[in-house]
Structure 1
Amino acid sequence: MSIEKINARNQFKGKIHSIILGDVVSEVDVETPAGIVTSVITTRSVKDLDLKIGTEVVALVKATEVSLAKLL
């Protein structure tokens, strides 16, 4: 399957830097030009997508809320 269009505007192309597997959910760090993006996804998805360190992926970020804090 390939994706022709998607409504998520925040897209970060990168390579998987590290994977921390858990029983149910796993943390996947993606190294992008903007920095590291961490995704928490099901361990089943890690296996179904055959994700490994070095795999090229696109991190899609769709947020309903973005909070800001003023720094001193």
Structure 2
Amino acid sequence: MQLSARNQLKGKIKEIKEGPVSTEVVLDFNGVSIVSSITTGSAQSMKLNVGDDATAIIKASSVMIAK
């Protein structure tokens, strides 16, 4: 699969918090975690499991930095 999004981070699923409508998927990238909220239906159809390899694809028109 090819995507136009250039910000792709490959990691492992660390935790899955399934709810009735949405599911939080926590991905670990060398000790850094990113949380994604997806529909529970999508999580189930993808058959996501803790320990699976996964890729976070980040598509944004702007990135803000604060100090």
Same-fold call, TM > 0.5?
Answer: yes
Q: Number of aligned pairs?
A: 67
Superposition RMSD in Å: 1.2
Gaps of 5+ in 1: none
Identity across aligned pairs (percent)? 39
Q: Distance in 1 between matches of 2:18 and 2:42?
A: 11
Larger Rg: 1
How big is each residue's C-alpha offset from its partner over 1:17-67, in whole Å with a ceiling of 9 and x where there is no partner? 001111101110001137111110000011000001001111100012222
Provide the residue aligned with 2:66 in structure 1.
69
SS of aligned partner of 1:63: coil
User: What are the equivalent positions in structure 2 for 1:23-38 lying under 5 Å apart?
Assistant: 23-33=20-30, 35-38=32-35
Which amino acid in the other structure matches residue 12 of structure 1? L
Query: Are positions 1:49 and 2:22 aligned together?
Result: no
Gaps of 5+ in 2: none
